Chain A
Amino acid sequence: MSELASTADETVGTRRPDLSVERLNKRYAAERRFRLYGLLAVCAAVGMLVVLLGSIVLNGYTAFWQTHIAVDVELDPEVIAPDGSTEAETLKNANYRKLVFDAFDAHFPGVEGRETRRELHSLVSGAGARYVREAVVNNPDLIGTTQRFWIMADDKLDMLHKGYVDLDLSEDRRLVDDQFVGWYNQLKEQGLVRSQFNTNFFTDTDSREPEQAGILSATVGSFLTLFVTLILSFPIAVLAAVYLEEFAPKNKFTDLIEVNINNLAAVPSIVFGLLGLAVIINFFGLPRSAPLVGGIVLTLMTLPTIIISARSALKAVPPSIREAALGVGASRIQTVTHHVLPLSLPGILTGTIIGMAQALGETAPLLMVGMVAFIVDVPTSFTDSATVLPVQVFLWSDSPERAFVEKTSGAIMVLLAFLIIMNATAVMLRKRFERRW
C-alpha cells in the first residue's frame, strides 16, 4: 500500500513520458491488422468463387452458339429417289451426304484430288446432311430444286469462327491448316458463315463428334436417377425422423441409430459407391449403369442429410401443439400426422430439396456403379443404361478435342442452373413458410 502511494507521488513529481499512447496506438494497429486479415480472407473466398464461376462462364458461353455454313444444295432427283418414288422410307434413306458434298465441290470449283476434297468436305459436320433430309422428308416437292441450307459446321471450323484458334502460330502447331483457313475466309467473305443459337446442345445425345454432342441423354438420366432418389429417400427420411424425434424411447438402440446417422453424413461419397457395387449390383443382381441403382446409392447417401434437417424441422414445432392435440383425445400418431407433420412440412421439404441438389451434383458414387458409360440413346426406363449430367461433365472433360472444353463448361452451366433453381426454391420455401413460435 505504501509502495503504491510512493510510486504515485513519484509520477506526479517527475512526469515520466507517457508511454501509454504509443502502446495504445500499437494495440489499435494490431486491431486494424486483425480486422484487415478477416476482410482479406472474406475477399479471398469471394474472389475465388468469382474466378471459378467466371472461368466456367468465359469458357462455356460460346457452347450455346453454333457455327453454321450456307450451302446451295441441288436436290437432284437422280440421287434422292432414282425411281421417282416419294415414299417416306426412300426419302429418309437417300444419300444426302453426297448432295451436300457435291454442292461444296460446286462452290469451290478449283479443288482437285481426293485428299483435298475430303478435307474440303470436313468443313461441315458429319450430321450436316440431316438438315437436308429433314427438309426433303417434310416437303418432297423440293426435289429437283436448288435450296439454300444452313448446315452445322465441323467443330474445327466452329472453333476457328469463335476465335479459339491462334492464327499467329505456325501451321503445324494449330488445329487447322492454312488451306482450311483459306476456305473459311472465302466462305466468310461471301457471308455464308453465321452463328446461331445451339438448340442441338439441348436436343442431341452424347457423341464423339463435339459439334454433335448434346446433353439430352444425360439430363434425362439425371432426372430418372433423381426421381428414384426422391421416391425412396423422402418417405424413409420422414418416417425415420418422426420416429426418432417423436416416438423413440431413450435407450442404447436409439443412441446407436443417432450415432450412425451422424457418421453416415460424413462418410465419403465414394464409399457409398463401393457399397452399391458390392451389394446392390453384385449381390442383389440389379443391372449396372441403371438409374435405379444410381438412385438407390444416392438415397443411402442423402438420407442422413434429409433426416437431420427433418428432425430439426420437427423439433421447431412447439410442444403446446402436441399437448393440445393429445388433450382433445388424439392418439400420438394422429397428433403427428394431423398437426406436427403438416406444420413442419415446409422445413422438411427445404431439407429434401437441399438433399436432392446434393444428389444431383454427385459424381463419384455413380462412377462406381457404372453410370460412366458412353450413352447415345435417351434412357426410357429405370433399368436402361444411363449417365447423369455431372458424369457427362466428367466424361467430356477427359476428351482431348478443344471443342469439348466449351461443351463441358456449357454442361456445367446447365447443371449449375438446375442447382440454383433448386436452392432458390428451398430458400423461398423457407422464407415463405418460416414461422416463429
Chain B
Amino acid sequence: MTITVYLGALVLLLLFGYWLGKRRAYAVSGGHPAYLHSLPSYYGVYVAMWCGIPSALLAALWFAMEPHIAQWVLVNALPPEKQNLPPDELGLLVTDIKNIAAGYSVFRDVTPALERAAAAYESVFQIGRLFAIVAATGIAIVGLAVGQRYVAPSLRARNLVERVITIVMIIASTIAILTTVGIVLSLLFEALRFFGRINFMEFLFGLHWAPQTAIREGQVGSTGSFGAVPLFAGTMLITVIAMLVAVPVGLFSAIYLSDYAPKRIRASVKPILEILAGIPTVVYGFFAALTVAPFFRDWGNALGLDVASQSALAAGIVMGIMIIPFVSSLSDDVMNAVPQDLRNGAYAMGATQAETIKQVVFPAALPGIVGAILLAISRAIGETMIVVMAAGLSANLTANPLEAVTTVTVQIVTLLTGDQQFDSSKTLAAFALGITLFVVTLCLNVAALNIVRKYREKYE
C-alpha cells in the first residue's frame, strides 16, 4: 500500500521535475532556446533525474535491508535470557514470533514478552517503512530543488543525461553476470553447508539414496543416506532413451526438410515442428503419465513383461518427443550452413542426393550436429516436469528401462516442495544436487557452444 503511494508520488514528482526543468531552460535562455547547450527537454530529464535517482536508491536500499533490520529489532526486543539461546533454538523462536506477528497460531505459549517482540517486529514494517518512504519522497523534493538550480545555458545537459543512460545500460547488461554469480554463489554456499554434514565422496559415489531424515533426534536412520549414484544413473538412463528417440527422428527430419521436401511442405511442416517446442513441459508430463505410461504398461503386461507404471521408458520417450524440434532445427541450421559448392561438387561427380548428404554434407556438418546433440543432452538432463510427473520417486539403481527410476531434478523438486525447515540435510541436499546439475549442464553448454562457434567460423 505504502509502496504504491510512494511510486505514485514519485511519478508525479518526476513529471513535475521534467516540466520544471524544461520551463527553467526556456527561462534562463531568455526566450531563445537556441542559446542553450542542449534541447530544452534534456534539461527536463536532467532535473527529473536529480529528483528520481537518489530517492529510488534510498527506497531500494530500505527494502533490501528491511527484513534484516526487522530481524535485528526483533532479537533486541527479546528478554536477554532468550537472546542468549543457542542459534538454532533462537532461529525457531524467531520464526514463531514472525508467525505471531503475521497472525498465525504457533505451537508455543504466547507470553507478553513474545508479543512485545512481535509488535516490535511488526512496527518495522509499519513505522519504519513509513519513515523510509517519507524520507525518500523528501529526498526527491530536495533533489528537484537542487537540480533545477543547476539549469543554465552552459549546462551540458544532454551529455550528462546520456552518460546516465549509458551507465544504466551497462548495469542492465551486467545482470546476466550477476545472475550467474548469484546461481554459483547461492548453490555453492548451501552445498558447502551440506558437505559439512555429508562426506563429499559419499555423495558423489554412494550407492544408496534415502533422504528421509527422522523428525526426532535419536530415531533409527536419523541421518538419511545421500549417495547420489542412483540418481545420476536414472538421469542417464532417461536421457539415453530420450536421445534414442530425438536424434534419429530429429536428424532425419532435418535432412528431409532441408534437402528433399518441396517448398510448400517445408513451409508448413517447420512451424508444426516448432509447435512441439512451444508446448509447456507440464503438458508433456501429463501426456506421459496419463497416456504413454499406461499404454506401455498394458502392452508389457500383454507380452508378459513386467513394466512399472512409472517406467523410465515412458518418461524417456516423451522427453525425446519434446527434444525432437530442438535437434531438428539446430541441425537444419548447420546443414544449411554447409556451402552449396560442396554439394554441387558431389553432384558433378555423379553422386546421388543421398550419397551427397551421407558422404559430403553430413561429415561437413558433423561438428555442428554434435554441438546440437550436446545441447539437447543438456536440456534432457535439466528437464524437470516430465520426469516429476512420469518417472518414479524411489532411487533405483538399474539399467532396465521398464523399471521406475528417479532423476536429479525429481529429487530436487521432492526435497524442496514439502513443508520443512529450510536448513535440514534434506533441503541442503537439493542444493548439492542443484550445483551438480548446474556444473554438468554448464560443461555441456560451453563445449557445445564452442564447437558450434568454431564450426560456423570455418564456413564463414
Residues of B within 8 A of A235 (CB): 172
**Which of B68, B272, B437 contacts A268, CB < 8 Å?**
B437
Q: Is B222 an interface residue (CB 8 A)?
A: no
List residues of A (23-37) whose CB comes within 8 Å of B's CBs.
27-28, 30-31, 33-35, 37
Interface string of A8-33 (1 = CB under 8 A from B): 00000000000000000001101101
Question: Is A111 positioned at the interface, with any CB of B under 8 Å from its CB?
Answer: no
A262 to B385, CA, bound (A): 23
Given A35-B260, A361-B279, A364-B409, the answer on whether A307 and B186 have CB atoms closer than 8 Å is: no
| Given known A-B contacts A271-B382, A303-B176, A30 and B352 have beta carbons under 8 A apart | yes
Which segment of B113-121, B212-220, B280-288 sits at the interface? B280-288
Contact A52 B279 (CB under 8 A): yes
How many angstroms from the CA of A394 to the CA of B389 in the assembled complex?
Answer: 8
- With A45-B273, A271-B382, A393-B283 in contact, is A263–B328 under 8 Å at CB? no
Contact B177 A38 (CB under 8 A): no
Contact assessment for B283 and A56 in the assembled complex, using a CB-CB cutoff below 8 Å: yes
- A42 near B290 (CB under 8 angstroms)? no
Quick one: CB contact mask for A44-86 with B, threshold 8 Å, 1 for yes? 1110110110011001000000000000000000000000000
Q: Tell me whether B11 is interfacial, beta carbon within 8 Å.
A: no
Verify if B459 is at the interface (C-beta below 8 Å from A): no
Cβ-defined contact, B354 with A35, below 8 A: yes
**CB within 8 Å for A38 and B256 given contacts A52-B321, A264-B180:** yes
Query: Which residues does chain B contribute within 8 Å of A240, judged by CB atoms?
Result: 169, 172-173, 175-176
Q: Which residues of A contact B176 (CB under 8 A)?
A: 240, 257, 260-261, 264, 303-304, 307
- The residues of B that contact A55 with a CB separation of less than 8 Å are 287, 290-291
The yes or no answer to A274 lying at the interface (CB within 8 A) is yes
Q: Is B282 a contact partner of A393 (Cβ separation < 8 A)?
A: yes
Residue in B174, B283, B357, B442 whose Cβ sees the most chain A Cβ within 10 Å: B283
Is the pair B186, A393 in contact by a Cβ cutoff of 8 Å?
no
B260→A284 contact, CB < 8 A: no
Q: How far is the CA of A222 from the CA of B253 in the complex (A)?
A: 35
Q: Is the CB of A278 within 8 A of B382?
A: no
Q: A45-B324, A307-B176 are in contact. Are A278 and B278 (CB under 8 A)?
A: no
Q: Which residue of A lies closest to B321 (CB)?
A: A48
List residues of chain A with CB within 8 A of the CB of B66.
285
Whether the pair A267, B441 counts as a contact (CB closer than 8 A) is yes
Chain A window 385-397, contacts with chain B (Cβ cutoff 8 Å), 1 for yes, 0 for no? 0000011011001
Contact residues of B: prevailing secondary structure: helix
Asked whether A143 is an interface residue with its Cβ less than 8 Å from the other chain, the reply is no
A203 at the interface (CB under 8 A from B): no
Asked whether any CB of chain B lies closer than 8 Å to the CB of A217, the reply is: no
B177 touches A257 (CB 8 A): yes
Nearest CB in chain B: distance from A410 CB, A: 12
- Which residues does chain B contribute within 8 Å of A247, judged by CB atoms? 166, 169
Mark B365-395 against chain A: 1 for CB-CB distance below 8 A, else 0: 0000000000100110111110011000000
A31 nearest CB across to chain B (Å): 4
Query: Chain B's nearest CB lies how many Å from the CB of A372?
Result: 6
Measured between beta carbons, the chain B residues less than 8 angstroms from A275 are 179, 182-183, 186-187
Complex Cα spacing A279 to B187, Å: 10
Q: How far does the alpha carbon of A33 sit from the alpha carbon of B169 in the complex, in Å?
A: 55
Q: Interface readout for A247-273 with B: 1 if CB under 8 Å, 0 if not?
A: 110000000110011111011111110
Interchain Cβ contacts under 8 Å between A and B, 22 examples: A35-B354, A42-B261, A49-B273, A55-B290, A247-B169, A260-B177, A264-B180, A268-B379, A268-B441, A274-B183, A279-B182, A282-B422, A285-B66, A333-B165, A361-B281, A362-B280, A364-B281, A393-B286, A394-B282, A394-B285, A412-B286, A419-B280
Q: What residues of chain B have their CB less than 8 Å away from a CB belonging to chain A?
A: 64, 66-68, 158, 162, 165-166, 168-170, 172-177, 179-180, 182-183, 186-187, 189-190, 248-253, 255-257, 260-261, 269, 272-273, 275-276, 278-287, 289-291, 321, 324-325, 328, 352-355, 357-358, 375, 378-379, 381-385, 388-389, 409, 412-413, 416-417, 422, 430-431, 434, 437-438, 441-442, 445-446, 448-449
Not counting A41-B250, A270-B437, A397-B285, a sample of 20 additional A-B residue pairs whose C-beta atoms are within 8 angstroms of each other reads A35-B260, A37-B252, A38-B256, A41-B248, A41-B253, A48-B324, A55-B291, A56-B283, A248-B173, A257-B174, A262-B445, A264-B179, A270-B413, A274-B434, A307-B176, A357-B278, A361-B281, A363-B384, A364-B409, A419-B279
Across chains A and B, which 10 residue pairs bring their CB atoms closest together, nearest first?
A268-B382, A38-B256, A361-B280, A285-B67, A41-B252, A239-B172, A278-B186, A34-B354, A243-B169, A364-B384
